[in-house]
Amino acid sequence: MKKFFLSLLFLLSILPMTAQRKASLDMDWRFRRGGTINAEQMDYDDLRWHLVTVPHDFSMEPLVNVAGDARMADVQVGPFSKLSIGNWDTGQTVGGEGWYRKTVALPVEGNTSMDTYLSQTRVSIRFDGIYNQSEVWVNGVKAASNVYGYMPFVVCLNEILADKRNRDARNEREVTIAVKAVNEGLNSRWYAGSGIFRHVWLETTEMLHLDEWDTYVDGSELINKGKDANVKVFAKVFNETNRTRVVTLHVDLLDDQEKVVAQNDLEFEVPAMKKDGFEVATEMTVKEPRLWSVDQPYRYRARVSIHTSGEEKDALLIPFGIRSIQFSAEEGFKLNGKQLKLYGGCVHHDNGLLGGAAIDRAEVRKVEVLKAQGFNAVRCSHNLPSEAFLHACDSLGMLVIDEVFDQWEEAKRPDDYSQYFARDCKKDMALMVRRDRNHPSVIMWSIGNEIAQRADVPRGKEIALELNLAANNEDRTRPTTMAVNSFWDRPLFTWEKDVHRVFDNIEIGGYNYEWRHYVADHDSFPDRIMYGSESFPKEMAQNWNLVDKNPYIIGDFVWTAIDYLGEAGLGYTYERSDNQWIQLLSWPWFNSWCGDLDLIGNKKPQSYYRDVLWKRSKLSMAIRPSVTEGEYEDVSLWGWTAEENHWNFEKGYLPIELRPENYQVTNVVGHLKHDVNGYRSDSLRVNVYSREPRVRLLVNDSVVGEKSTDPETYTATFTVAYEPGSIKAMTVPQTRKATADSLEYVTALTPARIVLKADREAISASHNDLSYIEIQIEDEEGHLCPTAEIPLEIIVIGKANVVA
C-alpha cells in the first residue's frame, strides 16, 4: 500500500501563551551546522547562517556533498549516510555540532532604564530540550550548560546583565543568545535527534514571583464516597526583594466555562531574599466534579496568584484533572474507582521524518493515531517526553508511564548519560517529577529501563532508593516502577533467585518480555502488582490472555506501538536457510519496523490482529505468499510474519521490506536469500483472525474451506491459489439467531488517479501546526492500489513548506 504523508508548515507568527509572563522564542534563530570559531561572541557576524524555527532537528536536514563527489550518491540519501558512526542505533543519521544564535528584545517599558528593569524584573530563558550536550552564552558570557538532552533547563539573565560590561552598547535592551549543541560519539541506542528540538521561552516576572514547576495542583483525592474532590494546591513563593513581604496566595479553580467552582486565600510572610522559595499549601472542595478519564478527559484550570498590598504580583494558569488512581494485586489498577486494564504501547519520542522535533501538532497527532488504534496507555521509552506530548495525552485521554533513564552508572554506549549519572541523577529525577506532576495522564514514575545494576548488591538497592526518594519528595500520589529484563547480562543471577531484589525497591513491577514468570511470581509474591513493560508483538495473545484473566497483571505494553527511527531493522522479516543470530540491520535500513503502526501512523498487519485480540473487531484477515522452497521465514523477536492486508498478489510481486536490494550491505551479507522473481502466486497462506469459534473463506465467491479458530491465538489458517477478483472471510454463526461478520479484499486494477486527503479541513497560522496529507493511488473504481509504485514530485504553492 503506497501512502505518503507531507507536513505543511505555515510560516506565520504565534502568540505567546501568556504575554506578560511567558513568550515564545521559537522563531528566527540563525543556524549553522558544524564547528565554528567565536560564534558565542555578541558581535559575531551570523548573517550567512540560515534561518530556522525551533523545535528543530538538524540531523534530519539533508546532508550536503560539499565536494560534489559522485561516489557520495551511493552512501548518502537525504539525512541518511552509510558512513554514520551510529549505524543501526541512530538509523544511519549523522549528529555532530550545531550552532544557534538569536537576538531577543527584552520587554522593557517606556523610558525605564536597564538598571531599574533588572532590579524589578527576573528575566529567564527556558529551553525545553537541546540534544545532546549544550552550552548557552548571553552576550558572549557563558551562562549555562546541560548534558542530558531530554531535560529542560532555565538560564537566568539578571546576574549577567547586571554587569554593564555584558550589555550590548548598541542597544542594551537586546540580548544575543548563542547555543552550541553537540551530539557526538555513541550516546544513544535509538535515534535521538540533534539541536534545539523542543520549545524555547522567555519568562519575565517581578522579583516576588511563583515558579511554574514548583506550583502543583493535586486533584487525586475523591471524598464523600467519590461524590466530591479535595483539591490541594502547593506553591513556592520566591522573594528576591530586600524586604520581608506579606503575601496572599489566591486560588480560583475554574471549569471549562470559566466558572469558579472553588476558591481560597492564604496569607503569610515571605522573608527577604528568599531565593530558594517559601513553600505554602492550601486545599478546597470541589462539589460533584467532572472526573478526568480516558474516555472523558475533562480538565479544570487553577488560577494561582500572589498579591501584596492589594496588588497582583504574579499568576499562573494551570490545567489539571480531578481523578483518582489506585493499584492493588487483588483488584488491579483503578481509575476513579473503576477497574481498567492498560492497553499499552511503548513509544520513542521521535515523529518519523520530522525527527526529534517536538512540534505541537506532531505530538497531538501521534496520540490521536494511538488512541484510534485502541491504546489507552503509553510508556515513554526511555526518556523524558516533551511537554507538548503530555499535554496531548491530557487532552485526549491517554495514560502515561513517565520514564527518566535508560542506564544508571553502567554504560550501554560509550558516550551515554552514565558518565554523569552519579552527579545528576537525583536532580534529574526530581526535575522530571516537578515538571510533569500537574499532568493527570501520568500514573507512574519509571526510574529506569533494563538497568544493568538492577539487582547488584548493594549498589542496585542504593540507587533505586535514592531515585524513589527523589520522586516521592516531589509527588506522593503516584507509584514508582522500573522495566526489568532477564539477567542475560548478569550470568550468575537468575530470575527466580535474584529478581525480588529489584521489585523490592519499587512499587509496581514492570516485566520486559518475562510474561512466563507472571503466575509463578504471583504464587511466591502475592502482593506484587505486575504489568508487561515490554512485550514481543508475536506473543501478544499469550501476554494479553494472562492480563485479561488476572487482576494482579494490570496491562501490557508492546514494543512498540508505532515505528521509530533507529534500532534499524529490529522488526525484520526475511527468508533464509541458515540459523545465524541477527538483531539489527545496517544500510540502507533506518526504521525499526517493529510497531503496530508505521512511521506515519498507518496500520500494519499486526495491528489488525490486535483489533481482534482487544475485541475492537470481530474479524481480520492477512495473506502471505509461500516461503521459497528450501528456506524458512525468519521473523525477528520484535517482528511479524510478512503478511499483507490486500488481494493483489500477481506473479512476481515482492513486498518492499523483503527485496534483496534492501539487504545489500548488512552485518549478515551473504545470508539473505530471496527469490528475485518474487513470490509464487499459486500458494498463499491466509490467516483469518477471530474470537468466533469457526470461520469460512471464499475466493471469488467460491468456498475454499471452513475451519475452527485456535482458542488461544484466535487464528485459522488456509492455503489458496491467487485468483484476481476477491477474497472474503466470514464468521460461521453458531446459533440460528446469530449473524455472520465478513471482511472482503478486492483486487485493485490499473492505477488511474492520485487522491490527496488532508487530516483536517483547516489549521492555524502557526509554526506549531501541521497538515498531514495522505497521498493514495487508486484505480477507476476507487480501490486503493496497494502495489503501485509511481514516482511523484511534490510542489507546494502558497505560504507553506513541506517539512517531511
Query: Could you please report the per-residue DSSP string of 142-160?
Result: EEEEES-TTS-EEEE-HHH
Name the pLDDT band for 657 (thresholds 50, 70, 90): low
Name the pLDDT band for 579 (thresholds 50, 70, 90): confident
DSSP for residue 386: P
Name the pLDDT band for 643 (thresholds 50, 70, 90): very high
What pLDDT digit, counting tens, does each position of 427-481 carry? Answer: 999 999 999 999 999 999 999 999 999 999 999 999 999 999 999 999 999 999 9
Q: What is the rounded CA–CA span in Å between residue 406 and residue 559?
A: 15
Name the pLDDT band for 629 (thresholds 50, 70, 90): confident
Q: Which three cell numbers stand for residue 83?
A: 558512513
Cross-strand partners of 688: 621, 716
CATH of region 343-567, choose from 3.40.50.920, 3.40.50.2000, 3.20.20.80, 3.30.565.10: 3.20.20.80
Average pLDDT on 537-561 reads: 98
**Residue 743 DSSP SS3:** strand
Q: Which of 194, 90, 193, 187 is nearest to 415 (CA)?
A: 187
The pLDDT of residue 50 is: 96
**Residue 747 DSSP SS3:** coil
Q: Which three cell numbers stand for residue 36?
A: 565554528
In the chain, which segments carry CATH 2.60.40.10? 212-320, 618-746
Total residues belonging to the chain: 804
Q: Which secondary-structure segment (H or E) carries 180? A: strand 174-183
Could you count the other beta carbons within 10 Å of the beta carbon of residue 467?
Answer: 26
Q: Which of 794, 799, 797 is nearest to 769 (CA)?
A: 799
| Backbone region of residue 195 per phi and psi (left: phi > 0; alpha: psi in -120 to 50; beta: other values) | left
In the chain, which segments carry CATH 3.20.20.80? 343-567
Q: Which three cell numbers stand for residue 3?
A: 501512502
Assigned fold of 618-746: Immunoglobulin-like (2.60.40)
What pLDDT digit, counting tens, does each position of 181-217 carry? Answer: 999 999 999 999 999 999 999 999 999 999 999 999 9
What pLDDT digit, counting tens, does each position of 387-420 carry? Answer: 999 999 999 999 999 999 999 999 999 999 999 9
- Whether 798 and 10 have beta carbons less than 8 Å apart is answered as no
Give 542-550 contacts, CB < 8 A, sequence gap 24+.
542/515, 542/712, 543/515, 544/613, 544/614, 545/712, 546/515, 546/518, 546/519, 547/341, 548/341, 550/518, 550/519, 550/522
Span of 15-19, 82-86, 209-213, 354-358 with lowest mean pLDDT: 15-19
* Cis previous bond, 55, omega within 30: yes
| 12-206: CATH number | 2.60.120.260
- Does residue 683 surpass a pLDDT of 90? no
| 212-320: CATH number | 2.60.40.10
- Relative to beta strand 530-535, strand 553-558 is parallel
**Sheet harboring 50-52: ordered strands across?**
50-52, 29-33, 96-105, 174-183, 133-138, 141-146
- Does residue 676 surpass a pLDDT of 60? no
Average pLDDT on 594-606 reads: 97
Name the pLDDT band for 670 (thresholds 50, 70, 90): very low
DSSP for residue 290: P
- Whether 231 and 283 have beta carbons less than 8 Å apart is answered as yes
What pLDDT digit, counting tens, does each position of 717-765 carry? Answer: 999 999 999 999 999 998 988 899 999 999 999 999 999 999 998 999 8
**Residue 418 DSSP SS3:** helix
Q: Which amino acid is at 405?
A: F
In the chain, which segments carry CATH 2.60.120.260? 12-206
